[in-house]
């Protein structure tokens, strides 16, 4: 058994059985080990950002890490944007990054780089030094990815460590479990939330699960507090029978208005809310200095356990406000009519990966009235996450229909994911919101005081010259597609796409 075999066997024994790969020369012995393994699925991505985004989607849906196989520092760098999103989503992800053979590093060959410096900002990192320790380092990397609440963990693997002889696999290592929130913190939160005007602010991995939102609803019923959530959540469960924790609005002025009357805020798995960007004359904080903030549970705590303990102390059962099922809209496609119609047609038990940007904000209004589904959001703001994340979600949950609700500008960053959908025959319906612009940047230009952008400024936010032919692009990657420009046509196309096996693409021209 060589080092590569010992790593793959260790990983399978630890529950890692999918690898999203874009390998190169230094990873060939790892590729051979994947070929010999009967228990590790290997999925090719045509770009490293597809691999890392798919691992994010897989980890969000399973709670277990998938592996990525990346080629040296440049390959890892190509995947960093979606690792940033995974870090913000607290997703367990394991990266295997091939490096030059140990004795070849000093030659400073063209692809040699400082991989550790690239990997450290997005999570845990270790550099292996030889085949005899590769299996043990692999077990440590998997455990590190699963340390509560979940994180990106990277193992750098010299080529000679993969091809030299190894003793065998290592035993899986137990990760760090979520910490129990002590009774004093629960009691303090109970007192705070009973005060008039208090707000419970949810975020992170677990707080927006079914158990989390049900406990939060009991707390709100018993105390009268308001419940809100982070603007973009890692994973959110929606359904007519589930309570809703409305997200904090994206723009800071709206966020400050939403929280302006909160007498105090209690965080449960969430970070303190701040503005996404700094604007001239505005503070970074959403909350004022005179609005007290306290924490019931941090990201590394058992957030659901804390919410349930708090609900048992102060909560009460209360009815959930009735929400009628969303109905399809009619007429031309607009941001609102598209969001409403999609919400009306989402099938039961679906997964919706929402990277529709400005159009997605409208969909969020209707999502609580859609059929029961799981929503995955753009936690880190690095665009190009949606299509790869849908790949990972579909592989994680092959029995659940997946819809990628995707802005056209963001989708262009990682459209190679369409090819992986086709190759793996994944049941993903891709809905492209084709407004043919970076619409959010046009809004930000206006916020920056540019009332009448000139031709260069408009050119840097416009995607209409020439227009991108998404149907032809999808066909080139092996995905059937159609283009629609009214809600009736969209509804018909979406129903057809759901009924067909394998991936389908719908360009919704806005």
Find, among 120, 180, 178, 98, the residue nearest to 146 by Cα: 178
pTM exceeds 0.95: yes
What residues contact 264, with CB distance under 8 A and at least 6 apart? 192, 195, 197, 198, 199, 291, 292, 293, 294
What's the chain's length in residues?
Answer: 510
pLDDT of residue 381: 96
pLDDT for 24 = 98
Report the half-sphere exposure of 256 (CA within 13 A, side-chain side): 14
- CB-side neighbour CA atoms (13 Å) of 486: 5
CB 435 within 8 A of CB 462: no
Within 13 A of 339's CA, how many CA atoms are on the CB side?
A: 20
Q: Is 300 exposed, middle or buried (0-12, 13-18, 19+ CB in 10 A)?
A: middle
Under 8 Å CB-to-CB from 268, ≥6 apart: which residues? Answer: 200, 201, 202, 203, 207, 212, 216, 295, 296, 297, 303, 306, 307
The Cα–Cα gap between 414 and 402 comes to 17
Cβ count within 10 A of residue 478: 15
User: What's the confidence (pLDDT) of residue 360?
Assistant: 87
Provide the pLDDT for residue 73.
98
Residue of 149, 231, 193 lying closest to 309 (CA atoms): 193
SS3 392: helix
CATH 3.40.50.970-classified regions of the chain: 3-163, 335-509
The DSSP 8-state label assigned to residue 377 in this structure reads -
Q: pLDDT digit string (tens) for 209-231?
A: 999 999 999 999 999 999 999 99
d(CA 370, CA 241): 10
Backbone phi and psi for residue 97, each to the nearest 5 degrees, phi listed first: -115, 115
Q: Which fold has domain 3-163?
A: Rossmann fold (3.40.50)
Q: Are 419 and 478 in contact (CB under 8 A)?
A: yes
Q: How many CA atoms lie within 13 A of 122 on its CB side?
A: 29
Distances (CA, A) of 334 to 19, 358, 438: 39, 11, 16
Rounded Cα distance between 371 and 368, Å, is 8
User: In the CATH scheme, what is the code of domain 335-509?
Assistant: 3.40.50.970
Distance in angstroms (rounded) separating the CA atoms of residues 371 and 353: 15
Strands 264-268 and 198-202: parallel
Overall CATH class of domain 183-314: alpha beta
Pure H helices in 47-182: 48-62, 72-89, 115-119, 131-146, 159-163
Which tokens is 386 given? 């949606």
Residues spanned by CATH 3.40.50.1220 within the chain? 183-314
- CB atoms inside a 10 Å sphere around CB 251: 16
Per-residue pLDDT of the chain (510 residues; tens, 9 = 90+): 999 999 999 999 999 999 999 999 999 999 999 999 999 999 999 999 999 999 999 999 999 999 999 999 999 999 999 999 999 999 999 999 999 999 999 999 999 999 999 999 999 999 999 999 999 999 999 999 999 999 999 999 999 999 999 999 999 999 999 999 999 999 999 999 999 999 999 999 899 999 999 999 999 999 999 999 999 999 999 999 999 999 999 999 999 999 999 999 999 999 999 999 999 999 999 999 999 999 999 999 999 999 999 999 999 999 998 888 899 999 999 999 999 999 999 999 999 999 999 898 889 999 999 999 999 999 999 999 999 999 999 999 999 999 999 999 999 999 999 999 999 999 999 999 999 999 999 999 999 999 899 999 999 999 999 999 999 999 999 999 999 999 999 999 999 999 999 999 999 999
- Give the separation between CA 64 and CA 94, rounded to whole angstroms: 10
Taking Cα atoms as reference points, which of 345, 273, 313 lies closest to residue 498? 345
Cα within 13 Å of Cα(62), Cβ side: 24
Give strand pairing partners of 157.
98
**pLDDT tens digits, one per residue of 306-331:** 999 999 999 999 999 888 889 999 99
Local structure of 106: helix, strand or coil: helix
Instruction: From 96, 137, 303, select the one nearest 215 (Cα to Cα).
Output: 303
Q: How far is CA 24 from the centre of its chain?
A: 26
Tokens of 335: 């941001």
Distance CA 102, CA 510 (A): 54
């Amino acid at each position: 058994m060589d080092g590569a075999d010992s790593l793959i066997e260790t990983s399978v024994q630890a529950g890692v059985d999918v690898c999203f790969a874009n390998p190169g020369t230094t990873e060939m012995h790892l590729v051979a080990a994947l070929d010999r393994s009967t228990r590790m699925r290997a999925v090719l991505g045509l770009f490293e950002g597809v691999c890392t985004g798919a691992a994010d989607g897989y980890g969000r849906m399973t709670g277990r890490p998938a592996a990525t196989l990346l080629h040296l520092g440049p390959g890892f760098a190509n995947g960093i944007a979606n690792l940033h999103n995974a870090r913000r989503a607290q997703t367990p992800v394991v990266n295997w990054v091939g490096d030059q053979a140990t004795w070849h590093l000093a030659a400073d060959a063209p692809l040699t780089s400082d991989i550790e410096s690239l990997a450290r900002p997005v999570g845990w990192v270790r550099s292996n030094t030889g085949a005899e320790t590769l299996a043990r380092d692999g077990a440590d990397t998997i455990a590190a990815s699963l340390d509560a609440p979940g994180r990106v963990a990277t193992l750098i693997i010299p080529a000679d460590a993969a091809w030299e002889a190894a003793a065998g696999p290592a035993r899986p290592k137990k990760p760090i479990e979520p910490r129990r929130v002590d009774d004093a913190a629960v009691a303090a939160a109970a007192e705070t939330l009973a005060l008039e005007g208090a707000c419970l602010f949810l975020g992170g991995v677990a707080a927006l699960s079914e158990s989390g939102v049900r406990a939060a609803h009991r707390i709100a019923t018993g105390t009268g507090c308001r419940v809100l959530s982070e603007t973009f959540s890692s994973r959110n469960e929606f359904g007519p029978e589930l309570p809703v924790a409305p997200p904090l609005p994206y723009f800071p002025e709206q966020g400050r208005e939403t929280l302006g009357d909160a007498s105090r805020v209690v965080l449960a798995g969430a970070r303190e809310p701040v503005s996404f960007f700094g604007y001239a004359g505005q503070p970074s904080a959403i909350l004022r200095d005179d609005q007290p903030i306290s924490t019931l549970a941090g990201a590394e705590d058992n957030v659901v356990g804390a919410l349930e303990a708090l609900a048992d102390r102060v909560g009460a059962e209360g009815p959930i406000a009735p929400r009628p099922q969303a109905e399809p809209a009619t007429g031309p496609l607009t941001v609102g009519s598209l969001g409403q119609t999609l919400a009306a047609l989402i099938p039961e038990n679906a997964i919706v990966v929402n990277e529709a940007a400005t159009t997605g904000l409208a969909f969020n209004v209707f999502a609580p009235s859609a059929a029961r589904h799981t929503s995955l959001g753009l936690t880190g703001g690095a665009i190009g996450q949606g299509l790869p994340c849908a790949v990972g979600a579909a592989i994680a949950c092959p029995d659940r229909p997946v819809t990628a609700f995707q802005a056209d500008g963001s989708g262009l960053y990682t459209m190679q994911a369409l090819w992986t959908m086709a190759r793996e025959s994944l049941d993903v319906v891709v809905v492209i919101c084709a407004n043919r612009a970076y619409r959010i940047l046009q809004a930000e230009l206006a916020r920056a005081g540019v009332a009448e952008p000139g031709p260069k400024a408009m050119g840097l936010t416009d995607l209409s010259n020439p227009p991108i032919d998404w149907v032809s692009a999808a066909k080139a990657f092996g995905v059937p597609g159609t283009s629609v420009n009214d809600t009736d046509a969209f509804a018909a196309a979406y129903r057809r796409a759901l009924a067909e096996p394998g991936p389908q693409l719908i360009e919704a021209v806005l």
